[in-house]
Chains A and B, each alone.
Chain A
């Protein structure tokens, strides 16, 4: 299939361009919890577009989906979608040099695809295996690429320059895509959309409160995404993990010399 090869070359070229040309964040500022958002204007435009899509399409479809489809079936579809990502995740772990997790992902795929009935249930969850959760963005992180600029992707949502590359690569890197007995083109993508609808419908109150009740939903989505992503990637790195803890007692100042107005322990209810 020559078209595949040409496409792959194009993608690799695009990735190298993005990774090398995109604005780079000053060293360590991500570790300090700073936000690097040089494309804020464009991002806010895309955010507005995404909000429109959510309000008129994704939100009503998701709420309808979880209302009509019984809860256990929504869970089954979630398992199915997740199972389809396992070979891709095994590949990512392999590229990260994590053989153990790579094997774990494959084992889960084998068990859930057979005993679990095409992945519609997840019997491998009962085996007390460590959770599997990676992507090509994490692979790039392991390879030493920095997070880069914050970007909001159309239809997809919050990401970073590095993770956006990961999202695109993962669209094509799953070995299932190259299987000769693939039942449907892009089944992984469809399954992922259904899974996202399940989550959007189930946690609609929480998502609504972020998207529609906050004073600046763009800033809320950005901080929540970046914090969560940095936490995921820091999980095995104790220093990075503890670096995410900010000390409010230090930053707001209990030091009366530096900050004469501050006495955080005055009793707010004292007469």
Chain B
């Protein structure tokens, strides 16, 4: 894959894309199977665009964080990952934790982007489930057989956003709840310390 940063047209296109991603709020709409699928299509397209942009790793990670906030219901994800400790946290702590969690997830999963270069994602189907919609995709990376990635989408935040992701059945939120729980244990339950450290993790 050739990524010449001096290619002017590509640069302009990329810059415009960056603007669109950052500036356009998602329109409020009642979620349907089609719009849930559309949401995942957009996520995939934007991820591909970031990977193909040829930017520095740090710039890409910032873009991934914007993408995560735009398409993901970050507050509910952060709260779930924090688990039972979310109940005793103050609202200021929750706010800070959500922000730290946002950067942590974007860095941790954004850094995996190299494995996705040249990969193909096909959105297969969407259907209604109890909490919202389930959108199944099939991901084909170089040299491996296709595997299943499923997004769960809900409009309970006021707009359609994904709130969980499963890679071959591995639940992102549940796995992160285990990890965040282990980090808290290592800090003897000190949430403020965890928030501080989370900003430099991932």
Contacts and interface: CB of A to CB of B under 8 A. Distances in A.
A250 interface: yes
Interface in A193-223: 199, 202-203, 205-206, 209, 214-216, 219-220, 223
A246 B173 contact: yes
B83 to A, nearest CB: 8
Contact of B171 (A199, A202, A246, A266): A246
Contacts of A251: 80
Interface of B: 74-77, 79-80, 86-89, 91, 95, 98-99, 108, 111-112, 114-115, 129-131, 134, 142-145, 152, 154, 156-158, 163-164, 166, 168-171, 173-175, 178-179, 181-183, 185-186
A131 interface: yes
SS of B interface (majority): helix
A14 to B, nearest CB: 30
Interface string A61-88: 0000000000100110010000000000
Among the interface residues B108, B114, B144, B185, which one has the most CB atoms of the partner chain A within 10 A?
Answer: B144
A248 B86 contact: no
Nearest to A244: B169
Contact of A206 (B74, B112, B154, B157): B112
Given A247-B131, A268-B75, A205 B173 contact: no
Nearest to B102: A268
Given A227-B169, A245-B129, A219 B75 contact: no
A89 B88 CA distance: 50
Contact of A248 (B112, B164, B166, B179): B164
